[in-house]
Amino acid sequence: MITLIWLFLWGLVAAGALLLFNYLLARFIEALIPPQGRFIEVDGLRLHIVDSGEKPGQSGPPLVFVHGLLGQLNHFSYALSGLFPERRVVLIDRPGAGYSQAAPSQSLEAQGDLIAKLIAALNLQKPLVVGHSLGGAIALALTLDHPETLCGLALVCPLTQKVAATPGPFQGLVMQNAAARWLWAWTLGPAMSLLTSGPAVKTVFAPDAPPIDYWNRGGGLFAARPSSLLAASRDMAGLPEELAAQSARYAKLEVPVGVLFAAQDQILDPKLQGETLCRQTPKAELKNVDGGHMLPLTQPQVVEAFIRSRLPSNPS
């Protein structure tokens, strides 16, 4: 009996040490990668955005960027968003990512609704929405439910269809039980993320090499924060069912959709995710380029040219 009591007490000490370590780790990461933009309350949530604002000489529709799983707006600010000085550019930390507050629901539909409300709050007039990876699925949800909000989509290596198996770097995020997600995110999750970060990031970027300063300037270390892991796990909780239902609606898309896919993408299958979408909707066009999943960081000029090709010549 005494042995069990000691084991229980040592377990409490170990759990407390892990919680303290993860708290200090999160504070260290946030000190290393401070907020770039400002905070705005939308639908009761505090969101972190980078907004270039309205400036003299700007022309055409604004650009709104939506990042993917375990990402944040640094994925776009690193090398891509600054290539559009003539436009108003808005980068979003999705709920629970970066410095944005987590949402009660992180379904595709809920996040699409939130972005629609953000667009209205910022008084953006029919922006072109750029979605990368999971951000592509959320941009599609936004378009299906709020087609009047935007002028079109520019999707980069987007998730559009249900997948048979979760990509290797993200398999540890698949948890249906809310208590288990929280326990994992605040105990072993951050340490495991740090230990496996090298191989995981290589796979996400492959065959391209990740930038040397991806960990800080690209925001890569954010993936080890407990809150980021928890939000990403919640992002994935209902994805199979949500994508199956959403993809059945793609034929009803009312705005032009451009898709840019990396032919050697190791995370999402270009044929399943890109070609299938373009067969499902008559307003979608696909372009393939050589490279890996993280095109916004590795080939920003290619992505810039693709985005510009999707901008309407005579926006209404």
pLDDT tens digit sequence for 292-301: 999 999 999 9
Rounded Cα distance between 83 and 72, Å, is 18
For the stretch 182-194, what's the b/e string if a residue is b when 16 or more beta carbons lie within 10 angstroms of its beta carbon?
bebbbbebbeebe
Task: Categorize the per-residue pLDDT at 106 as very low, low, confident or very high, splitting at 50, 70 and 90.
Answer: very high
Rounded Cα distance between 249 and 238, Å, is 17
The pLDDT value recorded for residue 10 is: 57
pTM attached to this predicted model:
0.94
pLDDT for residue 8 is more than 80: no
The residue among 295 and 14 whose pLDDT is bigger is 295
Type of residue found at 233: S
For tokens 């951050």, what's the residue? 190
pLDDT for residue 218 is more than 50: yes
The pLDDT value recorded for residue 224 is: 95
List for the chain the helix, strand, coil content (%; round to 5). 50, 15, 40
The pLDDT value recorded for residue 168 is: 86
pLDDT for residue 5 is more than 70: no
% of the chain at pLDDT higher than 90: 84
User: What distances in angstroms separate CA 218 from CA 73, 211, 221, 281, 305, one per listed residue?
Assistant: 9, 8, 8, 33, 21
The pLDDT value recorded for residue 282 is: 86
pLDDT tens, position by position, 272-288: 999 999 999 988 999 99
State the average pLDDT over residues 87-100: 97
Number of neighbouring beta carbons within 10 Å of residue 301: 10
The pLDDT value recorded for residue 54 is: 84
SS3 at position 65: strand
pLDDT tens, position by position, 157-205: 999 999 988 998 898 899 888 999 999 999 999 999 999 999 999 999 9
**Intra-chain end-to-end CA distance of the chain, in Å:** 76
State the average pLDDT over residues 237-263: 96
State the average pLDDT over residues 83-91: 96
Provide the mean pLDDT of the chain.
93
Question: Which is nearest to 197 in space by CA: 174, 180, 176, 222?
Answer: 222
Rounded Cα distance between 298 and 260, Å, is 14
Number of neighbouring beta carbons within 10 Å of residue 6: 10
Q: Which segments of the chain are extended strands (E)?
A: 38-42, 45-51, 63-66, 89-92, 128-132, 152-156, 257-262, 284-289
SS3 at position 61: coil
pLDDT for residue 9 is more than 60: no
The pLDDT value recorded for residue 77 is: 98
pLDDT tens, position by position, 118-136: 999 999 999 999 999 999 9
Instruction: Write the secondary structure of 105-117 as one string of H (helix), E (strand) and C (coil).
Output: CCCHHHHHHHHHH
**CATH number of this structure's domain 35-164+234-310:** 3.40.50.1820
Task: Categorize the per-residue pLDDT at 316 as very low, low, confident or very high, splitting at 50, 70 and 90.
Answer: very low
